[in-house]
Amino acid sequence: MTKQPKAPKQRSSTVPTHGSAPVKSAIKRSSTANAVPTHQVRLERQRTSSGTSRPATAPSRETVTRTRTKSDAQSAVAKAKASFQSCQMFMTFHGNNELVVEHITEAAMSEIRQQIFGIWKDGIESDEQRDSIWRVKFKNTPWNMSGPHKKRAWDMIVTLFRVFAIRGYAFQTSINLGFQPPRLVFVARAMDKTARFFLAFFTKGGLRINLIHPPSVVQDTIGHSLMDAFPDMIAYDEDIDHIRSIELKREATRTASTVDASYFLLRVLRALSDVGFNLETTIPLGSNSNWSLRSSTDIGTHRELYVFKGVPSHRVG
């Protein structure tokens, strides 16, 4: 009997049939090839999430940058302020005894100490400078414009204007900010070593002008000028202790009617301008000195000083 050859032995397929589970080795290879490490995903999200929110506890790079910028800006402003040379200077009379000068030069400050402090014999209460602001408090009340020492206060104010002019600062304007005393603004100009100033104030409801130590040209002409402007209306004209006072009559006469204070002021300004002295500014003084609280017709008050300055073309001789 002839033997039949043995059929080749069939090997089982590793490919799973439908519905059967894969072999372990296939599972291992499949998971190894397709899996992506979770830590790489997290790193990739951090690099690409610049616009998303970060945890509140983690300081952002943007916040740190803003802090450095603010600090640098403040430092730059401080350096610029320290080196800044202003062409303006502010002067304010506070209360009854304080003088405040802002952006003053060292030379002007030294000269004021030498020339002003000695005038006020009662002495200095405090002398402080912080940054660009210089504050001086005088003992007692120089800006009260009353008492036995008021003439010394007048001399101090005239000297202040003269020192500023000599140092090359001319009065420009006044700034009134609400209920604060007005700032007198001085601007850099050519030095004026021949500048002449004097003060005046009105009383008797604005019908009496009081000229404090006026220059000789004013002394010689003011009486005639006002007499020509107001014939038969001069009620008083005297010079007592270097104060020339001229007052108008209050009641009408047969040859003249009453005059309001505003028109009298205009004629005084015209008479002084004719001899080379123009109104520079007015200074309200004292604890109640405030332009915003004054009426526009309130001319006659000794608490408001009128500062007159000589015109250069009239200074010959």
User: What pLDDT is attached to residue 270?
Assistant: 98
The topology under which CATH files domain 85-193 is Alpha-Beta Plaits (3.30.70)
Q: Which pLDDT tens digits describe the chain residue by residue (317 residues)?
A: 555 555 555 555 444 544 455 544 444 444 444 554 544 444 444 554 444 555 555 555 555 555 556 666 666 665 655 555 568 899 999 999 999 999 988 888 999 999 999 999 999 999 999 988 999 999 999 998 777 788 999 999 999 999 999 989 999 999 987 667 899 999 999 999 999 999 999 999 999 999 999 999 999 999 999 999 999 899 999 999 999 999 999 876 665 567 889 999 999 999 999 999 999 999 988 754 443 334 434 454 557 899 999 988 665 44
Q: Which of 139, 171, 130, 174 is nearest to 284 (CA)?
A: 174
Which helix (H) or strand (E) segment is 169 a member of? strand 169-175
- In angstroms, how far apart are the furthest CA atoms of the chain? 180
User: What pLDDT is attached to residue 122?
Assistant: 93
Q: How many Å separate Cα 39 from the centre of its chain?
A: 61
User: What pLDDT is attached to residue 267?
Assistant: 97
Which amino acid, residue 301?
A: T
Give the residues across from 236 on adjacent strands: 247
Give the DSSP letter of residue 131.
Answer: T
Rounded to 5°, angle at Cα 177 from 174 and 183:
35
Query: How far apart are alpha carbons 127 and 118 in whole angstroms?
Result: 14
Which amino acid, residue 306?
A: Y
* 16, 97, 163, 184, 289 from 181: Cα distances, Å: 100, 13, 22, 9, 7
Domain boundaries, the chain: 85-193, 194-316
Which amino acid, residue 234?
A: I
User: What pLDDT is attached to residue 317?
Assistant: 44
**SS3 for 207?**
coil
169 near 189, Cβ under 8 Å? Answer: yes
Query: How far apart are alpha carbons 200 and 213 in whole angstroms?
Result: 9
